[in-house]
Chains A and B, each alone.
Chain A
Amino acid sequence: MNCPDCKEKLDRFVDRELNSTEVLELELHLESCPDCSDQYEFQAHLKRLVKHSCDCDRAPAAFREKLRQILT
């Protein structure tokens, strides 16, 4: 695998959407390419940042209870 191939597959690698053969090929490339490895770390970091920033909201307890009464 070369750097353009790696770049093209990085989104799917970060999202765990590659098959096992592709994962292996990509991991081998990352081990030998500091630039692509840095870029992967950055993208994975960014994905974690978006998740942690956005997933802390919870439905208010009163709303949950209201829905439960309406639906059950």
Chain B
Amino acid sequence: MAESPAQTAFAEEALTHLDTLYRGALRLTRDPDQAQDLVQEAYLRALRYQHSYQAGTNMKAWLFAIMRNLFWDRFKGSRKEDVSLDDVGEFVLYDKLRDEGAKPEADVLDKLAASEVVEAVEKLPPLHREVVLLVDVEGFSYKDAAQALGVPIGTVMSRLHRARQQLQKGLYDYALESGIVRGSTRQVPQS
């Protein structure tokens, strides 16, 4: 595919970010075969449009942007506004566990299986899932995540906040189902 040493070098550099792209694709599609198709298509597109990549900028964010745009175009349709971003309201797992007397609260987290955490992430709406993947899993700064998602930094922050609330609610539900916590029996005090 590459027609010059420069193109080969570009492709080699791009391939150093393969694991990040694959993980992102896997979490977005939730299917290994679809993830590979999506990543392959993203790399082909990246090579085709490599002239639009500015050397010295964040190649990982640029590649992720190509991959997630393909995901939205091909797998989910391009109308992102149709995708529900249901709010769970203000749900703070720490407060919930403290109210139920779980002490220390972080012990509950240690009892959750990795597979349950992955499942809770995969249950997030895609617009929330992708920001958690970038910031929490791949360690992107808000600025780089904003570049990858094509949104302002404020949008990254608000989506991340809501995503984490949903994630905490999901993890709490797992903890309830598996008996790690027993659920609140405490009555709300009447004022």
At the interface, yes or no: B61 with Cβ under 8 Å from chain A? no
Partner of B2 from the list A57, A59, A66, A71 (CB cut-off 8 Å) is: A71
- Among B12, B94, B104, B118, the residue within 8 A (CB) of A43 is B94
Q: Are B19 and A50 in contact (CB under 8 A)?
A: no
**How many residues of chain A get a CB closer than 8 Å to chain B's CBs?**
33
| A50 x B121 contact (CB < 8 A) | yes
Query: 0/1 per residue, A49-60, Cβ < 8 Å to B?
Result: 111111111111
CB neighbours of A57 from chain B (8 A): 19, 22-23, 26
Which of A59, A63, A66, A68 has most chain B Cβ within 10 Å?
A59
Asked if A72 and B12 make an inter-chain contact with CB atoms under 8 angstroms apart, the answer reads: yes
Chain B hits for A56, CB < 8 A: 114
CB of B137 within 8 A of CB of A54, answer yes
Give B27-74 interface residues, CB cut-off 8 Å to A: 27, 36, 39-40, 43-44, 47
Identify A50's interface contact among B1, B93, B167, CB under 8 A: B167
Write 26 A-B pairs (CB below 8 A) sorted by A numbering: A12-B157, A15-B160, A42-B105, A42-B106, A43-B94, A45-B109, A46-B164, A46-B171, A47-B136, A49-B109, A50-B117, A50-B132, A50-B136, A50-B137, A51-B139, A53-B118, A57-B19, A58-B19, A58-B22, A59-B39, A60-B36, A66-B40, A67-B39, A70-B40, A71-B2, A72-B1
Contact at A42–B167, with CB atoms within 8 Å? Answer: no
- Chain B neighbourhood of A67, CB < 8 A: 15, 18, 39-40, 43
Q: Given contacts A47-B136, A54-B23, is CB(A11)–CB(B168) below 8 Å?
A: no
Does B85 belong to the interface (CB within 8 Å)? no
Interface centre among B36, B94, B167 (most CB of A within 10 A): B94
Interface residues in B89-140 (C-beta closer than 8 Å to A)? 93-94, 104-106, 109, 112, 114-115, 117-118, 121, 132-133, 135-139
